[in-house]
Each structure stands twice: as C-alpha cells, then as structure tokens.
Structure 1
Amino acid sequence: MLKLKRLQPHSTVISLSRQLELSGTQPDLYSIGILANCYCHVGCVDFGFSLLAKSLKLGYPFESDLVLFTTLINGLVQNDRLLDASNLLDVAVLKLGIQLDLVTYGTMVKALCKIGDNAGALELLLRMNSSPSGCKPDLFIYATLIDSLCKDKLVSEALNLFSVMKTEGIKPNVFTYTSLIRGMYNLGRKGEAKDGMIDDAQAIMKIMIEQGVVRDVVVYNALLDGYCLCGQMDKARELVDLMVETKCHPDGVTYNTLINGYVKLNRIDKALDILQEMLEHGIAHDIVGYNTLIDGLCKSNRILLARQLFYGMQIDGIKPDVYTYASLLDGLCKNAELNEAVALLREMESNGVAPNIVIYNILIDSLCEAGQFKDAENLVSDLVSKGLVPNHRSYTSMIKGFCKKGLMRDAVKLLHKMNQVGCTPNKRTYNTLIRGFIVNNDMPNALRFRDIMVRMGF
C-alpha cells in the first residue's frame, strides 16, 4: 500500500496497522519502520518516537533500529525540526553507536545548508570523516556543501573543501564545477579579489577539459554568466562562438545572458543584435530577453525604440507581462508622457494583465510630481476597488506632491489618514513631510514633526 505514493495511503496504513495489532498480530522491525514513515508523512513525528519504545518493549535492541532512526531523522527534517533531528542523530551515533547511512547524513547536510547553517553541515562532514564506522561523505554531500558555501560567498572555504574532496579520491561532477565557477564570478563581481577569482574560474574550466568532464550547455552558461557579471563581454562573446564551434549549441539562456550583459553596460545596440542572431540560430525569442531590452531602452531614454520593441514582441507572439508594462510605464512617466502612460495602464487591463501596486505607484508618483492630484486620487481609488492596498510609497508620493505645491494642510491630512488605515508612516514619509515644511518656511511644524518622528522610534 505504501508504494502507491500517488494515492497518499499513509493514514490508511496507520489505521490498518492498529487493526492488525488489535487482532493480536505483533509488528516486526520492518513493519515498525513502515509505520514510522507513515507518521512522519502525516506530520505526526512524535508518534513515530513512541515506536522506539514499542521496539524496545518487543525485544528489538536499539542497535538494530537503523531504519527506524533514519526514518525519524528524515521525518524531523521534513517537518522543519532540524534541532531535534540533530539531537536524535547525536543520540543514535554517539550514545547508542548506531551506524547511520549516507542517505541520512546527506539529508541532514542538505537541510542544514538550506537554512544557511554551513558551520553545522561542515561539522557533520568532519564527524563523518573521523568516524570509525566507514560511512564517509560522498559526492552528493561534498557537492551540496560546496554549492552552499559558494552561494554564501565563502569561496575560499569551498575551494578548500574541493581540495579535500579530491584528496579523498572523489571525482567532482559538473554540478560541483558549476557551483565553484559561479561562486568565483559572483565574488569577483563585487570587486573582491576579482582578477584572482577569474583566473581560478578559468583554471577550473581547464581542469574540466583535462579530466574529460562533459562541458554541456549548462556549464558553458555558468561561465558565460560569470563573464557577463564582471562586464567582460568580449570574452563572453568569444565563449559563445566557441560553443558554436564545438557543436555545443547555445540555448535561450545563453542569449538572454548575453543580452543582459550588454544592457548592463548600456551597449543596447549590441543587445539588440542578439535578437537577430537568435533567429539565425533557430532560437525562439522569449519574454525574458524582451523585458531586459525594453527595460534597458527605457532607462537609456530611448522610449520610441522601446515602444517599437513592445509592439514587435506581440507580433512575435509573446504577450507582455506585468514587468514589461512596468518598464514601459516608468519610461513614459520619466519623459512626462503621462496621458500615454495612463492609456497604457488601461490597455494593460484590457489585455488581461492585472496591474500590481508597483504599476500604480509609478503612475501615482508621476501624477503627483506633475501636480495632477485629482488623477492620482482617482488611481488610488481605482487600486482599492481592485483589492489592492496603497502602501507607504503610494501615500508618500502624494504627500511629496502636496508639499511641492505648498499644500501642507493636505499633506498632514494624508499622514493622519495613513495611520487611520493601518499604514503607519515610515521614516521616508516623515522626512518628506518635514522637508516640505522647511521648503515652505514653516520651521515650527518641521520641528514638531521631527519630535513626533523621534518619538515613533525613528
């Protein structure tokens, strides 16, 4: 029954087990393990612990309960009770001498890495290496920990662990190399030991070639992402050409990574060329590439071309999403084309794309900046009618607009309204209001709200 996982038979198995016991059938270790597994799946791990006492009562020694301990540890991990899982592991190994298997250790290491406890995972790995049981860390455990260290920018520690792994005779796989390469480039992007990290990443790539590790599109894309993060677009371009030469066909991720790299350096025309190149290589355009380009064009104040691309993507059969509209709306607003921006909002709704609070805030901010308070208030009412809640930015934009026009009484009323609706003003709201009083030569009120701000804990 338990093998019919898609039917989720755990509660049924528990019920059947009770019936069997009432009929006088005593469970053996195997059936106790199955029952513990069921309790864990239905979130009743504590009931699973009662089976340890039952096992001992039936005469089964703890030392033979490997499956039961493993099941309970896994169950605690699945139910986010990592401290209990760690304590149970200590009891099983250190106090009872039970030799847990790699699956259990792997589960614990993965769980610890997931919550960012790299120190705990490393300690567990060291304990395995020093254990006389012979249960040594495998590739999965090393690779999981190396990946976690790289994501936390602890690249030096990851490289040390990588060396230990090779010393232990464990051959790295593509996932391990990819984690290291991405970690090095992510660290290099922040300017920390950049040149050295890039050299290390290239050295890793050389090792992969020498050891015959398959360099598939995933590995190439990881290295490409690193070049783009560091702004080394010439090397990124060379790598894509190498992929084509070696019959490792670039995919959509490859080209989108290139587009993003060029856009970040404001080399928009180069990014646009990639769209044509994708077609030449039979790679379909997608929403990610279009969104990156439209956002880049808007930020570069090339609104006309952004509009053309916006309609071009629809001709290409790709429906704009909320991110596409947000970029174009922001660009239109910054170019003071507010009527067209509002029209685009209506077009967005008619096309079945629901505006979010970010979209409304872009328009509210621009309308208030232009002194069109009535239109801004209408938008606030509009978003409320759609079930959205105005946030700090919505109200602060309107307060800023009132201050700019010298309408300080309206600005204060809006501040009070924020408190009434449960959107407590933040430090940006208070600073905006205080600055408004100063600009409008009302120092007493500026100081009064300064004192209120301090009392609020800012």
Structure 2
Amino acid sequence: MASRALFTISNNTKNKTLTAHSIVTLARTRAFCLTPNPANRNNLHSRINAVGDPSFSVAPVLQQWVKEGKDIKQFQLQRIIRDLRSRRRYTHALEVSKWMSSSGLEFSLSDFAVQLDLIGRVDGLSAAEHFFTSLKDQDKTEKTYGALLNCYVRDGLIDESLSIMKKMKEMGFLSSPLNYNDLMCLYTNTGQLEKVPDVLLEMKADGVSPDKFSYKICINSYGARGDYNNMENVLQEMSSQRHIQIDWGTYSVVACHYVKAGLKEKAIHYLKECEKKVSKDALGYDHLISSYAHLGNKDEMKRLWDLQKSKCKKQTNQNCIVMLGSLVKLGEFEEAEKLLDEWESSCKTYDFRVPNVLLIGYCQRGIVEKAEAKLQDIIKRRKTAIPNCWSIITTGYMNKNNMEKAFECFKEALAIEAENQGWRPKESLFSRILIWLGENGQVEDAEAFVKLLRTKVPANREMYHALLKAYIRNGKEVEGLLESMKDDEIDEDEETIKVLSLRDQNS
C-alpha cells in the first residue's frame, strides 16, 4: 500500500492515516477475491495461519494436506489468499497463489490479477511486468491490466501509469472507477493534488460513474489545498448520487481538514454529521473522540466514550488507548489515571500498550519520575513489563539529560529481552548511552551493557569505541579489545584512531 498519507484522521496521540491508495487497493482486493467467512475456516486455513514467519514456506502445509487425502477447493484457497493479503502476509499469499495455479485447480482471470499484484509486492515491479508479458492474450483482461497499473501507482511511476491507462482506454478496459481512482492516488502521492479533480471529470466524461472512493480522494485533494468551497461542492455532488451511501469516514475526512485549518464551527458541524453515520462502529467513535481532543472539547470526548460503551458490543484495548491518548493530549492526567484503573479492573490480558500511553504523556510533560513510579507500581501489581515500557522511561530521562537514570532504565529493558524476542532497541537510545558510557562510565558498567546489548544487536563499531574510551579513561590495556574487534571483522577507522590517541593524552 502507498506509504504517503492522504487522509489524516487522528485516533490516538499520534496521527493514524487512511491513504487513498489503501482505499483503492482495498476495493480492488474485494473485486479480485471472495470474501472470507471467519466462522467457516477449516483446518487448512488454521495450519497456514500457524506459519507466521515469512521466511518459512507454506507450500509443505498444502502438500501435506493433499498427502492426507483431503480435497482443496478453489474457493478455499481464494479465501486463504484474501485473508493473508488483508494481514499483509504477501509472501505467503503469493506462495498459495502459485501453488494454486500449478496444482491443476481452476485459475480465474481474477486469480491472475491477484497473483500479478502479489508478485509486484513481493518480487518487485520488473517481476510483475515479466509475469504480465508472459500471460496469454485471453488472460490480459481489465483486471490484470488494472493490477499492473496498481503496481506502477505503488511505485509512483507517472509516465508508465498514464501509458497503461491510455492502452486500457483503447481496449475498452476502463469500465471501472478503480483505475481512475488509482490515477488520482498517484497524483496525490506525487504532490500533484491539482490534477486529481481533472481525473474525476475525465471519469465522468468517459461514462464511468465515480464510486465513494473517487469522491473521497477528490474531497481530500481540495481539503489538502485549502479549497474548502470546492471540497464541499464535491461532497454535495456525492450526496446527490443515489448509488452512493455516504459513510462516517467521508464526513470525518471533511471535518479533519477543518480541524487542521482551525475552523472550529465547520469542524463541529461535520463531526455531528459523522456521528449520525457511526451507529455501532467503534472505530468511528475513536475518530470522533480524537477529533474532539484536537478541538480541546473534553465534554464531547466523554459523551462519545459513554456512547461507544453503550452502543458497541465491546470496547477493545485499542479503543481505550484512543481515549487515554485524548485525555493525555488535553493534560487530563487525573482522569486518564481513573480510566486506566477502570481498564485494569476489567481486562483479561494485560496489554502494556495501554499504560504506555500514560507513561509517554508523563514523559512528554517532563514528569518522568511520575512515569517511572507508575511503571514500578504496575510491575508490583502485575508482572514484568515489556521492554518498550522501560524504553519510554529511558527516553524521558534522556530528555532531561539524566543519563545515569536513562542508563539504569535501559538496562531494565535489555534484561527482560528473553521474554520479548521480537523486540529491538532503538538505535537512537543505545547510541547515546554508549557515548555516555565511553565518556563517563566505569569499565565494568560498559562491558556489562555491551554484553546485554549484543543479545539484541550485532557487534558494531559504536560498542567498541565506547569500550575503548572506558578502558583508556580507566587505565586499562586495550590490545585484547582491539583483537576482539578484528575477530568481529570491524576494521579501525579514523574515529578509532582518534579514540586511541586518548592514550597519549592520559599518559
């Protein structure tokens, strides 16, 4: 999916984004694949889901299934591919698609388009172009052309995208708004927002009815340029289309632009329109709550939080994170503490992402001591914190230039890494600590820290330079350290020579 944000709708202390290309890709995916029924997943689906690491192949799972004498239907594999794509497990999705095409099962024109898209994501654009070229003429349909166009858009290639659009028009393959939407995404992603409305006009001139995604992308293009009159004109046109049901997300996009522009009355008007469409959608309430947080309206946040609790089947940890983040944004730490207590009393599994919102808030306000006290209290009442909790506190102390405390807290993060094997420390944190240890730390502290760090990060020059500085300051011989450095295939550079020159200054 495209990485550049087109629609920014905050639902946390950080901005979450909904990209125009994401919208189009989602629609294209729905067109290519059957919709999965989670309640009807069979054991094959479960077995493939169990292969979580993309470096492991799922082909043996499929082969074993057949070896056991069990049938595999086309629709089963289509559902599996659809599910894997929705969770961005593109490598495994491509494996299943290739297995499906080589196994003798029926392979539809939509399946070719899906495989082309997956090849572009996994193997790159050149591989996708080669696959497209290798297709028989009867397999080169609007869907496969559209999939190739999507690859070009994803890579931000304007000339190639326009060329294939022209080819599709000549072949009568532009019957769907998806391809025009892709082009609008391309212009948005490449900063050519002024060209987006022209594509909408072209679409209508070609006799293709815009869908809700077409209008959303165009609405956003006007809003991003501050052309609010035309933004509302497009919204009005969209509302007049009988085949389109405006959802809460559309009003949220409009409200977001007014919030960012500081036009409070307009923002509130469209947030009210958004609320009318939310119904029982918890995500919609999240967007509303965080939008009102940007407007500084705590009363509306609390009202919507209560509505979310009463109207939605359940509130997830993510919903709590949004509300906590909104309270923290307004500096309402007392109420945030109460909400955290409420969540802790009812949660079945302790998700440290929730209290982390409060810890970050305290650190950003410069009261890192309170954040650490809160974390220590949670640990006493719960269990070992995850490394990220201690990284947050480390950052807080660094921002106050208290490197001794930062060092102690980061050691806590490294010490619990065994239970969190997927965690990787931020280079910006451990680099500063290494520099500090080299200039101020004791040899034993530096050695212990590097030993811990190497359980998560390969040996590097920074580690050795920190140790060298600590050794030299404390009058310890460095020959053994230099030998270890060579063993780790780290050559001396100008910085190393500069560090070693400190020996002469200390002699």
Q: Distance in 2 between matches of 1:122 and 1:276?
A: 49
- In structure 2, relative to structure 1, the CA distance for the partners of 1:84 and 1:69 (3 Å cut) is farther
Assess if the C-alpha contact under 8 Å between 1:360 and 1:383 holds in 2: no
User: Which of 258, 264, 272 is the matching residue for 2:288?
Assistant: 258
Assess if the C-alpha contact under 8 Å between 1:392 and 1:423 holds in 2: no
Can you list the C-alpha shifts for 1:126-164, whole angstroms capped at 9, x where unaligned?
A: 1222x3x44445323223333454355443232221111
How far the C-alpha of 1:307 sits from its partner, in A, is 0.9
User: Which of 363, 374, 378 is the matching residue for 2:393?
Assistant: 363
User: Which of 135, 140, 146 is the matching residue for 1:106?
Assistant: 146
Query: What is the identity percentage for the equivalent residue pairs of Structure 1 and Structure 2?
Result: 13
- In structure 2, relative to structure 1, the CA distance for the partners of 1:233 and 1:378 (3 Å cut) is same
Give runs of aligned pairs for residues 212-361 of structure 1, distance below 5 A: 212=242, 213-242=244-273, 249=279, 251-268=281-298, 270-276=300-306, 278=308, 285-298=315-328, 301-314=331-344, 321-333=351-363, 334-335=366-367, 336-337=369-370, 340-346=373-379, 350=383, 355-356=386-387, 358-361=388-391
Counterpart of 2:394, as a letter, is: I
Q: Counterpart in 1 of 2:129? A: 86
Q: Secondary structure at the match of 2:416?
A: helix
Q: Counterpart in 1 of 2:204? A: 166
Can you list the C-alpha shifts for 1:189-239, whole angstroms capped at 9, x where unaligned?
A: xxxx32x2x322211111112333322334333433444454444323212
User: Which of 357, 360, 383 is the matching residue for 2:416?
Assistant: 383
Assess if the C-alpha contact under 8 Å between 1:224 and 1:254 holds in 2: no
Give runs of aligned pairs for residues 143-154 of structure 1, distance below 5 A: 143-154=181-192
- In structure 2, relative to structure 1, the CA distance for the partners of 1:285 and 1:277 (3 Å cut) is same
- In structure 2, relative to structure 1, the CA distance for the partners of 1:328 and 1:84 (3 Å cut) is closer
Q: Distance in 1 between matches of 2:362 and 2:96?
A: 57
Counterpart of 2:376, as a letter, is: A
Q: How many residues align?
A: 376
Question: Relative CO higher for 1 or 2, CA cutoff 8 Å, sep ≥ 6?
Answer: 2
Q: Secondary structure at the match of 1:214?
A: coil
Q: Secondary structure at the match of 1:337?
A: helix
Q: Counterpart in 1 of 2:458? A: 422
- Normalization by structure 1: what TM-score? 0.63
How far the C-alpha of 1:325 sits from its partner, in A, is 1.8
Q: Secondary structure at the match of 1:160?
A: helix
- In structure 2, relative to structure 1, the CA distance for the partners of 1:223 and 1:90 (3 Å cut) is same
Bigger radius of gyration among the two: 1
Assess if the C-alpha contact under 8 Å between 1:138 and 1:170 holds in 2: yes
How far the C-alpha of 1:106 sits from its partner, in A, is 2.2
Q: Secondary structure at the match of 1:42?
A: helix
Q: Distance in 2 between matches of 1:39 and 1:382?
A: 40
Counterpart of 1:379, as a letter, is: E
User: Which of 174, 178, 181 is the matching residue for 2:216?
Assistant: 178
User: Which of 153, 164, 176 is the matching residue for 1:138?
Assistant: 176
- In structure 2, relative to structure 1, the CA distance for the partners of 1:253 and 1:85 (3 Å cut) is closer
Q: Distance in 1 between matches of 2:372 and 2:114?
A: 58
Assess if the C-alpha contact under 8 Å between 1:70 and 1:100 holds in 2: no
- In structure 2, relative to structure 1, the CA distance for the partners of 1:162 and 1:217 (3 Å cut) is same
Gap regions ≥5 residues in structure 2: 1-33, 35-40, 45-58, 68-93, 474-492, 500-507
Q: Between 378-387 and 155-164, report the one with greater CA deviation.
A: 378-387
Q: Counterpart in 1 of 2:30? A: none
- In structure 2, relative to structure 1, the CA distance for the partners of 1:125 and 1:176 (3 Å cut) is same
- Normalization by structure 2: what TM-score? 0.58
How far the C-alpha of 1:343 sits from its partner, in A, is 1.7
Q: Distance in 1 between matches of 2:342 and 2:396?
A: 27
- In structure 2, relative to structure 1, the CA distance for the partners of 1:84 and 1:327 (3 Å cut) is closer
How far the C-alpha of 1:181 sits from its partner, in A, is 2.4
